[in-house]
Amino acid sequence: MTNKLPYFTEGNVVKGFGRGSKELGIPTANFPIEIVQQLPEEITAGVYYGWAQVDEGPVFKMVMSIGWNPYYKNTVKSMETHIIHKFKEDFYGSNLKVCMLGFIRPMRNFSGLDELISAINKDISDSEEALDKPENIKIKTDNFFATKSRNTQSSSGATCCI
């Protein structure tokens, strides 16, 4: 898994499972299935930390969950990014760039929603700490985040790569 990191990818933010992660205070921006399928198999299911950018906005810290969310027994693999920033508005349809830098833990099951939320809050603080390290801070200014996005979205909502 580690030899594939850092891993850079980008895609349009799509509707997720609509389970109200937002109501829990932990909204997650979901990637389309094509982006999930492009993941190298060495990047195993679990929680990762890194940097994220919505369109040409600022680069923020993020935590990402990859897998089948055992707590919800999902049948579809997902890649969900929680950006550690308070946004005024939703950004469905926007381009999301991410750089995954490190692995935090494998996906696991929980006996209650409270436990899942506490685990995610611990992931957020672990990510914040890891991203303050000089070798991780330097990726924030990588050219990947300075160049225009490869994805554009037409008014029909279709995504095309240029």
Touching ligand ADP, residues 14-53 (CB under 6 A): 15-22, 27-30
The pattern of x and - marking residues 107 through 136 that bind ligand RBF according to CB under 6 A reads: xx----------xx--x-------------
Min dist CB 145 to ligand RBF, Å, is: 21
Q: Which of residues 46 and 57 has its CB atom nearest to ligand ADP in the complex?
A: 57
Q: Which of residues 1 and 32 has its CB atom nearest to ligand ADP in the complex?
A: 32
Residues 6+ apart with CB under 8 A from 68: 45, 74, 75, 76, 77, 78, 107
Catalytic residue among 23, 41, 80, 89: 80
Which DSSP state fits 100?
E
The pattern of x and - marking residues 102 through 141 that bind ligand ADP according to CB under 6 A reads: ----------------------------------------
Backbone angles phi, psi at 50, to 5 degrees: 175, -155
Nearest to 97 by CA among 40, 28, 150, 46: 150
Nearest-5° Cα angle at 103, 91 to 35: 45
Per CB under 6 A, which region of 12-20, 103-111, 132-140, 153-161 contacts ligand ADP?
A: 12-20
H/E run at residue 48: strand 46-54
Q: Which of residues 72 and 92 has its CB atom nearest to ligand ADP in the complex?
A: 92
Q: Which residues bind Mg ion (CB under 5 A)?
A: 16, 28, 30, 80
Contacts with ligand ADP by CB under 6 A lie at: 13, 15-22, 27-30, 82-83, 85, 87, 90-92
